[in-house]
Structure 1
Amino acid sequence: MGIHGLMSYVGEHKQFFTDLQLRNTKIIIDGNNLFHRLYFESNLDLQHGGDYDSFTDIVHKFFETLSVCKIYPYVVLDGGCDLSDKKFVTLKERARDKIQVAYSISRGGGGSVLPLLTREVFKQALTKLEVPFVQCFSEADRDIMSLANHWNCPVLTLDSDFCIFDLKAGYCPLNYFQWRNLCTCEGTLDCYIPARCFSLERLCSHFSHMNKALLPLFAVMNGNDYINLPALETFFSKVRLPVGGSGWRGRKHVRIQGLLNWLSRFADPTEAIDNVLKYLKKHEREEIRKVLCASMEEYEQSDVNLEDFFQNGTYESQVTRNLELPQWMLEAFAKGHLSPFISDALLLRRTILHVQVENMQRPSAHTVALPIRQVIYGLLLNASQNSEVTSPSKQSNKLPIVREFDRIQKTLKKSFVPTTMLPLDFCEDHRPLATLTEVPRSDRLKLLLETLGVKANILQSIPSPLWLPVAVTCYWTHYSEPKVKLHHLQALLLGMVFGELHRTSSSPDPVVFHVKDKMVYDQFLKWKEKNFQELLDLDTAHTFCQWQCCLQMGLHLNQLLSTPLPEPEVTRLYCGTLVHRLCKELKSAHGAENLLISSPKMSQLYCDLLHAVKSTVPPDFFQETTKTTKSCKEKNKQATSQADTTRQHATLEAQPLCDVNNRFASLMVED
C-alpha cells in the first residue's frame, strides 16, 4: 500500500528508530520492494531495456551478505490485484505516471522505470540461490506482518504501511539497511549488517503515549493507496491542526504531525471516529463511518499462514477457498510458477501492461505480442471454437473479452481484447482449466509452437535452454514493427552468446571455458562497459522492447502450459547496454561472426542460432546480402567437433530417455 508522505516524515525523526546490528536471525523480506530498490540504487542502465546480468550479480551479493551474517531470509512477493479492485484507481494513476517517466528517460531525462523482465530474473535468482520465497495471492503486506509476528523477527521493506502495523520485532527500512557495509563484532569473527529499526512504541510515546490502535485510523484519514475520501477534506478544513511549513512536502508533514497530535487526545478508534464525524454533514456520517472501519481492517492480521507454505508447501486463504481454483494453479501461483498477470486475466478479466522506455510515437511495444496474450486468455477463460465474438456491452457467455490497459502515445487507454479460439482438445467440456495439466505434452507443445509460428525441426541444432528464446525470436522477427533489421537480429543473438559465455566464465575447467572463449568474453565486456555518448536510438530501443514483450508472454504461455519447453535463464538472454552497443558496432563491422572468430565453439552456437531464425523467413527478408549466411556455413565446417559434442550433450541431458539418434526427440517425449 503506502501512506502519503509518512516515510519521509518519520525519516526526519531519528528518535523513532533504534540502531541494530543485524545477525543470527530470520528476516521477512518484502520482495517487490527489494528488487525495485536493488535495481534502482545500483546505478544500472534504464534506457536500453535492462542489464539483467548485472542485476543478478547484485541480487547474489545481497543474499550472500545475509548468509555471512547468519541472517535467514524469507522473501514474500505480491501477487495479482485485490479482487475487490479497491486499489484500481491508484494503479491507473501509477501507470499514467510511468508512461511520462518512460518518455522522459527515452529523451535523456531522469526517472526510474523498472525493465520489463526484472521480476522474472529476480525469482529465478532466488530459486538458484535456494532462498525460500512465496508469491501471495494479492498484496502481501498483511501476510508479511502475520508471519513476522509469528516468528518474532523483523521485516525488511520500504513501505510506510509498516509504520502502522504492530510488529513485535520491528520494521527495518531498506534505506537504512547497510548491507554493503558489512561489519565485524568487536572481539569476535561474527559479522553483522548495520541497520535501523522503526519503533511503533517510540512514535506513540512522542505523541503523548497515544493508543497504537489509533494508527490505522490515522493511515486511512491521511490517505493511502486504497482510500481517498473527499469528504474528509471537510474535516481537515474545519478542525484545528498545527500550521506552518511551506511547499507540498511541508504541508504534508504538517498534516501528518497535526493529525497524530489530534488523534492522541482520544482513548480508542471509536471515540476518535465519533469526533471526526462531528465535522461532516449528517447525511454523510454513517456511510463514512462504515468506510473508515472497513479500511482500518487492512491493518489487521491476515488469515494466511505462510509458515505452512515454507514448511509444507501449502498456501491457503479464505479468498482462495471461495474461488475454488484448481489446486495445481494455487500451488503454481504460490511458488511463483505463474505470474500475477495470469491471475489478473483469469479473475478480473483485466490486465495492465508494463510501460517500457520505447518510441512513444509508435504503437506500444506490447502490440506485437497481442496474439500470444489472446491464446493465454483463451486458455484461462476456456474459449472454444464454437464461441462467437461479442462486444463488451453484450453478455460474456460467448467469446470472452479481456480489458487491457496500455499506452497509446503518452496516454493510458483501455481496449477490449477477444480471446483466441483454441483447439477443441483444450476447450471441450472434459478439458476445463482444472485438467489443463493433463493434456498430453505433445499437444501442449504443439499449441505453444503454433502460437509462436515455428516448426519443431528448426530447433534441432539449438541447445535446449535456448529453444523457447529462439522460438520467440522467430515470432518477433516475423511480426515486429518497424521491421527487424539484420543487425538487430545479429546483436540480439550475440547477446545470447555472451550470456552463454558469462554462464561458463566461472568454470575452472579449460574444456568448458577455453582461453579463446575468455578472449571473446573480455571483448564483449569492453563493449558492454563502453559509455553511450549520444541520445538513445528510439527505433532500435523500440525493436528490442518488442522482443522483451514477446519473450515475457512466451514465458507466461509456456508456464501456463506446464513448461513443454525448458524455462530459459532470463538473465543470460538480454543485456541492454551490450546489445545496443553491438547494434552500433555491427553497422560498421564486416560480419557479426567475425567477433567470434577466435572461439569456434561460440561461433558455431551463433551460426546455429542465426540459421534457425533465418530459416523461418523468406530469403529476401533482410535487405543485406547473403554474405553472412555464407560465412556462417564456412565457419560451420571449421568448427571443432567439441562444439558439436557440447551441444548434443546439452540436448540429451534434458531428456536422457529419448532416442539418442534424434537429438530433437526429447521435445516429443511425454511427461
Structure 2
Amino acid sequence: MGVQGLTSYVEGNRQFFKELKLRNTTLVIDGCSLYFRLYFTSGLDQQHGGDYDSFADLVRQFFDALSVCDIRAVVVLDGGIDYTDKKFATLKQRAQSKIKEAHALSRGGHGSVLPLLTREVFKQVLTSLQVPFIQCVSEADWEIASLANQWNCAVLTMDSDFYIFDLKGGYFPFTFFNWQNVGVCKGSSERYIPAWRFSVNKFCAHFNHMNKELLPLFAVIAGNDYTNLRAMETFFSRVHFPPSARPAHGRTQARIDGLLHWLAQFPGPEEALDEVLRVVGSGPRGPIRNLLSSGMREYRLSGSSLARFFTDGAALSAAVDLPEPVRALPDWLLQALSRGQLPSLVIDVLVLQRALLIVQVENCRLPSSHAASLPLRQVLYGLLLEGRPKTHLGPAGRGPGRSGRPANPADSGSARCVQEFDRHDLDLRQSSVQTALPRSPQQLSLETLNKVPLPARLQVLLESLGVDERAAGAVPPHLSLPACVTCFWLSSCKPKPALQLLQALLLWIVFGELCRLRGGQRGAAGPAAGHPDMRAVYDRLSKLRVNKGERKGLDLEVAHAYSQWQSCMWMGFYLNQLLCCPLPEPECAWLYSGTFVHRAVREMRAGSNPEALLAGPPLPGRLYNDILGAVVSCVGVDFFSAPAKKNRRGRRPAQQGRGRRKGSGATPSHRTPPTQDMVNRFGLLVCEDEDEEEDEEE
C-alpha cells in the first residue's frame, strides 16, 4: 500500500514530527521495508547479484544499535500476494518496472533490484540474533498497525500509509531514524537513537484541526495501491481547492495539499464522501461509493491477530480471517509459514496457483535465468497442489510434467498448473507451468509431509536435484545442499558454464567457510583467526572483490550464469524447506558474493589457479577438493572438455551422469571423490581444448 507523493510531502514539514531520543521501548518493525531500506541505502552491490555477507553484517549492526539502546524489536514480514487480487495489477506494473531497472543495471545504468536471496539472509540473521518475527499470510501493513496499537508502541517503516493509520504510539519513518548515530544521555550511561516521530494529531492540527477520520478518504481519493480510481481524475478536474498557505512543489504535491485543505472543511467522512460524489456528477454513484468505502475500511484498525504468536507462539489459525485454502492447511505448515520457515511463495501457489518470479540482473537477450530452475519449481508446485482438495483451488492443468522426470503414476495426465509471471525479453509474460512429482516409495500428502521418514524425504530432494546420496555426503553437512544445487545448475545452465565459473563459485564457498569460522560466532576466535598460515589464505581470498570503482562494466555471460545458479539455489532452498530440511539449511550469507565471484572469474581467466590461492594449511584446499569431488561425481570428469567431434586425443565425451538420468532423476556414480590429480586434470582439460583449437586452425 502507499499514497503516491505523500512521503515527500509530509517529510518536507518537520512540524508534523516530534524529535525524540529513542530508548527503552518496544518497536514494531516492518521487516520487508527494513531489508529493502538497508540494502538500497548502503551502497551494497546489485549489479553482480549481491553481496549477502555484507548485507548480513549490516542487519546485525542495525539490531545491535537497537539492543544497546534497550529497544525491543518485533519484526513483521509480508506474506503472499493479496488473495483478493485488489493489488495484483500494481504488482505486475512494479515487476515490469524492475525488468527495465535490471536491464539498465546490466548495461552500467541505474536501478534498484534486490538480490534474490536477500529475504532469506534477513530471516536467518533475525533467527541467529533471536529477534522475534512473524510472516503474515498477506501484506503486513494492517497487521503491523493493529499490533502496534494493541501494544501502544510505535512503528518503524517506510510506507506512506502509516501517515494515514491512527497510531497511538506514532510512526518513525526510516528517513528520520538515525540508528547509525547512537548517542549517550547526559548524566547517565543510557544510549539512544535520534529519531523523529510522526503524529496524526499534529498532522491534522495543521489543517484547521481536521477530523482524523477523514484521512482514509484522503488516501483513497489521492490514489493508493488498492483504490486508484479513474473517477477521481474527474473529481480533480472539477473541484476547486481553497488557497494554500504553504507553497507546494509539483503537480502531485499541489494536489495533496489542496485535497487536505479541501477535506478539512467537512465535519466527517460521510459529508465529505457525499460532496465527492456530487462533484463527480452523473453516472452510477453506487459503485464509486462502494469502492471508496471499501478502500477506507483498509485503514480501520482492530485487535491484532499476531499478538498471541509473540506471547505464546500460537500460529495463525482458522479463527483468523484467512482464505479457505490457508485455513485448511495442516498445523505444521501454518506454524512453518508463521515462523518464516517456509516462503510466502507457498501461499501464492496454494491460494492463487500463481507465482510472480523475482527479476535478476542478467542478459535480457537470453531466456530468463529462472528457466534453469523450472524442474525444481514443478516439483515444489506438485508437492503443494497434488493430493490437495480441488474445491478451493484454481483451474487444474492437464498433461504430463515437463521436468525431465516422471510424475507419480497415480497423477499421470492430471497435473495441475501454476500461472507464472517471469521476464521474456524486456516484458513481463505469463505462462502455465504444470506440476510434477518425483518417484517416491510412498504417497506424498501435504497434510503428513512432515511425518514422512527422513530417508524418503531425502530421496525426493536428491532425485529432484539429479544427484545421489554420495554427493551430498562428500562435503560437510551444512554445505551439502549448495553442492547438490551446484550439480543441478551445471546440468541445467544454458549456455554451459565454463570451468572458471565453477572454480570461482567454490572459492567463495571456501572463503565463506573461513569467514564463518573466523568471526561467525559473534566475535569468537575460530581456526582462521588463530593460525597465521590460515590468515594468509584468508587475506589472499579477501582481495578477490570487485571494487566500487570497477562496477561499471559487467560480463553478461558470467552474470547470466550466476543468476541461473542463484535461481537454482533459491528453489532448491525452498524445496528443502518444504520437505522439512532433509539436508541441513545452509547459511545464505556465505553462499554467494557477486563482487567476489566476478573478480575471481577474471583472475582464473588471467591465469590464477585455486591451488595457489588456497596454498597453506590443509583445511581450505581439502574443502575445495571435497566440494569439487562431489560435483565431478555427478557431472562427470569430462564435463568441461571439448565436444567429442573435436577430440583428437581419444577422450570420451561427457559422462551420462552430467544430466538427470532418464527415468529416475538420480545419477548413480561409483567413482571415488576426486583428489588433487583431478583438480589438475581439470586445468589440463582447458589447456588441451585450447591446443586442439589451435591445431585445427593450423
What is the DSSP-based 3-state SS (H/G/I as helix, E as strand, rest coil) of the residue aligned with 2:110? coil
Structure 2 SS opposite 1:615: helix
Aligned equivalents of 1:632, 1:195: Cα separation in 2: 60
* CA deviation string 1:130-159 (max 9, x = no partner): 111111111111111111111111100010
After TM superposition, list the pairs within 5 Å mapping 1:321-470 onto structure 2.
322=324, 323-382=327-386, 389=398, 398-423=414-439, 427=443, 431-470=444-483
Helix, strand or coil for the counterpart of 1:564? coil
Partner Cα separation in structure 2 for residue 536 and residue 334 of structure 1? 39
Q: TM-score, length-normalised on structure 2?
A: 0.86
Q: Is contact 2:348–2:355 with CA below 8 Å preserved after alignment?
A: yes
2:691 is matched with none
2:261 corresponds to: 261
Deviation at 1:244, TM superposition (A): 9.6
CA separation in 2, counterparts of 1:635 and 1:597?
A: 14
Question: Residues 438-587 of structure 1 correspond to what in structure 2 (within 5 A)?
Answer: 438-506=451-519, 507-510=524-527, 513-528=530-545, 530=547, 531-532=549-550, 535-587=553-605
Return the offset for 1:508: 2.5
Instruction: Point out the more displaced range, 106-115 or 275-284.
Output: 275-284
1:518 deviation in Å? 1.1
Closer, same or farther in 2 for the Cα pair 1:297/1:593, shift >3 Å?
same
Alignment of 1:309-328 (within 5 A): 309-316=309-316, 318-320=320-322, 322=324, 323-328=327-332
Helix, strand or coil for the counterpart of 2:321? helix
Q: Which residue of 2 aligns with 1:196?
A: 196
TM-score, with length taken from structure 1: 0.89
AA at the equivalent of 2:379? V
Hey, what's the Cα distance between the residues in 2 that align with 1:381 and 1:466?
29
Name whichever of 538-547 and 502-511 sits farther off. 502-511
In structure 2, do the counterparts of structure 1 residues 449 and 362 end up closer, same or farther at CA, with 3 Å as the change threshold?
Answer: same
Match of 2:409? none
Q: Tell me if structure 2 keeps the 8 A contact 1:493–1:609.
A: yes
| In 2, Cα distance between equivalents of 1:273 and 1:135 | 35
**22-31 or 581-590: bigger deviation:** 581-590
Tell me the C-alpha RMSD between the 2 structures. 2.5
Give the total of aligned pairs. 626
Separation of aligned partners in 2, 1:605 and 1:25: 46
* Residue 424 of structure 1: how far off its partner (Å): 6.2
Give the aligned partner of residue 686 of structure 2.
Answer: none
After TM superposition, list the pairs within 5 Å mapping 1:616-631 onto structure 2.
616-623=634-641, 631=676
Moved more, 505-514 or 248-257: 505-514
SS at match of 2:322: helix
C-alpha contact 2:81 2:139 (8 A) present in aligned 1: yes
8 Å CA contact retained: 1:402, 1:419: yes
Q: Which residue of 2 aligns with 1:662?
A: none
CA pair 172-590 structure 1, distance change in 2 beyond 3 A? closer
Gapped runs of 5+ residues in structure 1?
637-671
Q: Distance in 2 between matches of 1:606 and 1:242?
A: 71
AA of the residue aligned to 1:518: R
1:422 is displaced (CA, Å) by 4.2
Q: CA 1:511 to 1:100, structure 2 compared with 1: closer, same or farther past 3 Å?
A: closer
Contact kept in structure 2, 1:383 and 1:422, CA below 8 Å: no
Offset of residue 302 of structure 1: 4.9
**In 1, Cα distance between equivalents of 2:551 and 2:123:** 33
3-state SS, counterpart of residue 278 of structure 1: helix
Deviations 1:535-572 (A, max 9, x none): 10001000001000000000110111111111000101
Any residues of structure 2 matched to 1:265-280 within 5 Å, and which? 265-280=265-280
The one-letter code of the counterpart of 1:493 is L
Counterpart CA distance in 2 for 1:98 and 1:343 is 22
1:27 and 2:27 aligned? yes
In 2 relative to 1, CA 635–417 (structure 1 residues): closer, same or farther, beyond 3 Å?
Answer: closer
Secondary structure of the 2:27 match is strand
Partner SS state of residue 376, structure 2: helix
Identify if the C-alpha distance between structure 1 residues 513 and 50 changes in structure 2 by more than 3 Å, giving closer, same or farther.
farther
| Whole-Å separation in 1 of the counterparts to 2:158 and 2:572 | 32
Aligned identity (percent) is: 50
What is the CA-CA distance between 1:232 and the residue it aligns to? 1.5
The question of 1:181 aligning with 2:181 is answered yes
How far residue 248 of structure 1 moved from its aligned partner, in angstroms, is 11
Deviates more, 1:280-289 or 1:80-89: 280-289
Residue of structure 1 in register with 2:660 after alignment: none
- The structural deviation recorded for 1:633 is 5.6
Which residue is 1:46 aligned to? 46
| Distance in 1 between residues matched to 2:214 and 2:321, nearest whole Å | 27
Cα distance, 1:265 vs. partner?
Answer: 1.0
CA distance in 2, matches of 1:407, 1:634: 37
Pair 1:511–1:27, CA change in 2 (3 A): closer
Report what 1:13 is aligned to: 13
CA distance in 1, matches of 2:249, 2:257: 12
SS at match of 2:279: coil
- Is the partner of 2:634 in helix, strand or coil? coil
Amino acid at match of 1:264: A
Offset, 1:28: 0.4
> SS state of the match for residue 156, structure 1?
strand
CA distance in 2, matches of 1:388, 1:82: 23
Measured in 2, the distance between the counterparts of 1:105 and 1:277 equals 45
Conserved? CA contact 2:83–2:323, under 8 Å: no
Residue 301 of structure 1: how far off its partner (Å): 1.7
Q: 1-side partners of 2:551 and 2:210: how far apart?
A: 56
- Identify the range of structure 1 (453-462 vs 309-318) with the bigger mean alpha-carbon deviation: 309-318
Pick closer, same or farther for the CA change 1:159–1:397 going to 2, 3 Å.
Answer: farther
Query: Residue 402 of structure 1 contacts residue 416 of structure 1 at CA under 8 Å; is this kept in 2?
Result: yes
Mapped contact 1:504–1:513 kept (Cα < 8 A) = no
Counterpart position of 1:156? 156
Q: Which residue of 2 aligns with 1:210?
A: 210
Q: How far apart in 2 are the matches of 1:239 and 1:380? A: 51
**Deviation per CA, 1:267-294, whole angstroms, max 9, x where unpaired?**
1111111111112344321111111111
SS in 1 for 2:355: strand
Take 1:444 and 1:406, find their aligned partners in 2: how far apart are those partners?
29
Distance 2:212 2:679 in 1: 75
Is 1:610 matched up with 2:612? no
- Give unmatched runs, 5+ long, in structure 2: 389-395, 402-411, 643-648, 652-672, 682-698
After superposition, the C-alpha distances for 1:330-389 in whole angstroms (9 at most, x for unaligned) are: 1111000110111101110001100011011100000000000000110111169xx982
Task: Provide the residue aligned with 2:55 in structure 1.
Answer: 55
Tell me which amino acid in the other structure corresponds to 1:607: N
